């Protein structure tokens, strides 16, 4: 298993190792920690895998091959393609000739949350697993998801680890960063055990019934949307507010190949900041005091990082960019009305 936290230099903002969060994903130390390993379920349920992709023909083939090769008896794969060209479609169609369980859904309008929602509607199973088009899943990925849900029947949402692909480790924190998410121990997020802002779309799964209770992903948030990111933070928060449980499961692992150079990080930080501001401020506008506290913590942590680097005469670029764009996300939030019962921004399509 690769090291998720290269020790060579301070991680770039946006990289998410468990021991040195560059932005404050963890807010509540009361989160319940669960011991032991997962039991084998008596019957393995059918799982639908959703892979959302846009203009990544160089990686979608490897991602599909890894999912198609799962050592799991009953699953299907839906690729939601929002690419501008046809190359991805050709790759998916070629792969589906070898693995007939793969289907393709073309969406002409971009937006990651829109793709998630389309995938959920088209999925055929009661368990829906999601991964990215630049991720490789080990052969036991789906089996570990099924085991986790079997062990925790009250859990509706699961997040697993997203680790740096082994072949990228030599470049980590030298030439750039691969976004990653480590989970050192099994934990539950809910009203009884505590909460933290958490999520990364490269490795999560949910029961279909959860979407029926909590609703869709917010299509104003997320990549390709007006508020650019944080659709995962928003969804796990709405799961929490609905009284549902989220499991953080270290045994569910994928490997991320989405390396980003340091030159790419300013744009990434702008998106992260806008999304965090838009996610938090939506709930603040609904009178949510807990969301107000979360927003204050994001702002306080960002201000502290900038101040610390100024005092030590180190560059503040990415940190200042992230902080300033939280405010930009809050301002952009005001462009959209909110569906109060569903806690979703209202888009032109939903008016």
CATH topology of domain 32-260: Spore Coat Polysaccharide Biosynthesis Protein SpsA; Chain A (3.90.550)
| Nearest by Cα to 196 from 188, 206, 185, 204 | 188
Q: According to the model, what pLDDT value does residue 315 have?
A: 83
3-class secondary structure, 62: helix
Torsion-angle region of 21 (φ positive above 0: left; ψ -120 to 50: alpha; else: beta): beta
Please say if the pLDDT value at position 3 is more than 80.
no
**In whole angstroms, what is the distance from residue 225 CA to residue 232 CA?**
13
Q: According to the model, what pLDDT value does residue 5 have?
A: 31
**In whole angstroms, what is the distance from residue 148 CA to residue 207 CA?**
12
Q: According to the model, what pLDDT value does residue 203 have?
A: 98
Q: According to the model, what pLDDT value does residue 36 have?
A: 52
Please say if the pLDDT value at position 247 is more than 60.
yes
Higher pLDDT, 40 or 145: 145
Q: According to the model, what pLDDT value does residue 351 have?
A: 52
Handedness of CA 81, 87, 92, 97 (dihedral sign): positive
Please say if the pLDDT value at position 24 is more than 90.
no
Q: According to the model, what pLDDT value does residue 208 have?
A: 97
**Which DSSP letter does residue 226 get?**
T
Q: How does strand 127-132 pair with strand 47-53? A: parallel
Rounded mean pLDDT, 65-80:
97
Q: Which of 26-40, 60-74, 226-240, 298-312 comes out lowest in average pLDDT?
A: 26-40
Extents of the domains making up the chain: 32-260, 264-350
**In whole angstroms, what is the distance from residue 203 CA to residue 227 CA?**
22
Please say if the pLDDT value at position 13 is more than 50.
no
Contacts of 269 (CB under 8 A, 6+ apart): 13, 14, 318, 321, 322, 325
Tens of pLDDT, residues 181-213:
999 999 999 999 888 888 999 999 999 999 999
**In whole angstroms, what is the distance from residue 235 CA to residue 250 CA?**
20
CA distances from 70 to 55, 115, 143, 202 (A): 25, 23, 8, 17
**In whole angstroms, what is the distance from residue 111 CA to residue 271 CA?**
13
What value does the mean pLDDT of the chain take? 88
Report the alpha-carbon angle 273-279-284, nearest 5.
120
Instruction: Write the DSSP string, 146-214.
Output: HHHHHH-TTEEEEEEEEEE-GGGGGGBTTTEE---B---SEEEEBTTTB------TTEEEEEHHHHHHH
Q: According to the model, what pLDDT value does residue 54 have?
A: 96
Please say if the pLDDT value at position 292 is more than 80.
yes
Q: According to the model, what pLDDT value does residue 175 have?
A: 82
pLDDT category, 40, cuts 50, 70, 90? low
Tens of pLDDT, residues 301-342:
999 999 998 888 888 888 899 999 999 999 999 999 999 999
Strand partners, 81: 53, 106
* Percent of the chain surpassing pLDDT 90: 75
Please say if the pLDDT value at position 285 is more than 80.
yes
pLDDT category, 41, cuts 50, 70, 90? low
Burial letters for 69-108: b for 16+ Cβ neighbours within 10 Å, e otherwise?
A: ebebeebbbbbbbbbeeeebbebbeebbeeeeebebbebe
SS in 3 state form for 230-276?
CHHHHHHHHHHHCCCEEEEEEEEEEEECCCEEHHHHHHHHHHHHHHH
Strand partners, 135: 256
**In whole angstroms, what is the distance from residue 211 CA to residue 121 CA?**
10
Q: According to the model, what pLDDT value does residue 349 have?
A: 66
Please say if the pLDDT value at position 31 is more than 80.
no
Please say if the pLDDT value at position 17 is more than 80.
no
Q: According to the model, what pLDDT value does residue 72 have?
A: 97
**Which DSSP letter does residue 16 get?**
B
Higher pLDDT, 13 or 129: 129
Please say if the pLDDT value at position 101 is more than 90.
yes
pTM equals: 0.87
pLDDT category, 29, cuts 50, 70, 90? very low
Handedness of CA 289, 292, 298, 300 (dihedral sign): negative
- The number of CA neighbours under 13 Å toward the Cβ of 17 is 17
| Nearest by Cα to 47 from 6, 77, 2 | 77
């Amino acid at each position: 298993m690769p090291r998720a936290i290269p020790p060579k230099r301070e991680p770039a903002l946006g990289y998410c190792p468990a021991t040195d969060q560059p932005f404050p994903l963890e807010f509540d130390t009361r989160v319940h920690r669960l011991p032991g390993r997962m039991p084998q379920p008596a019957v393995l349920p059918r799982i639908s895998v959703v892979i959302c992709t846009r203009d990544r023909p160089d990686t979608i083939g490897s991602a599909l091959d890894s999912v198609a090769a799962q050592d799991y008896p009953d699953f299907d794969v839906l690729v939601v393609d929002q690419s501008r060209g046809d190359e991805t479609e050709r790759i998916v169609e070629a792969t589906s000739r070898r693995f007939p369980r793969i289907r393709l859904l073309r969406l002409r309008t971009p937006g990651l949350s829109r793709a998630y929602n389309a995938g959920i509607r088209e999925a055929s199973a009661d368990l829906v697993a999601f991964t990215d088009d630049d991720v490789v899943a080990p052969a036991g990925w789906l089996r570990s998801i099924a085991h986790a849900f079997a062990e925790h029947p009250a859990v509706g949402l699961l997040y697993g680890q997203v680790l740096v692909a082994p072949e990228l480790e030599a470049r980590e924190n030298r030439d750039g960063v691969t976004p990653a998410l480590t989970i050192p121990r099994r934990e539950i997020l809910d009203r009884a055990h505590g909460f933290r802002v958490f999520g990364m779309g490269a490795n999560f799964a949910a029961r279909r019934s959860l979407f029926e209770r909590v609703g869709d992903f917010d299509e104003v948030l997320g990549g390709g949307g007006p508020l650019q990111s944080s659709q995962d933070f928003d969804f796990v928060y709405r799961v929490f507010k609905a009284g549902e449980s989220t499991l953080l499961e270290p045994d569910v692992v994928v490997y991320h190949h989405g390396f980003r150079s340091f030159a790419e990080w300013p744009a990434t930080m702008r998106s992260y900041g806008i999304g965090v501001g838009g996610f938090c401020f939506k709930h603040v506008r609904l009178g949510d005091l807990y969301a107000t506290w979360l927003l204050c913590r994001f702002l306080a942590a960002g201000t502290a990082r900038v101040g610390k680097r100024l005092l030590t005469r180190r560059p503040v670029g990415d940190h200042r960019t992230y902080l300033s764009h939280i405010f930009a996300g809050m301002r952009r939030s005001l462009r959209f009305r909110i569906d109060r019962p569903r806690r979703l921004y209202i888009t032109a399509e939903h008016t």
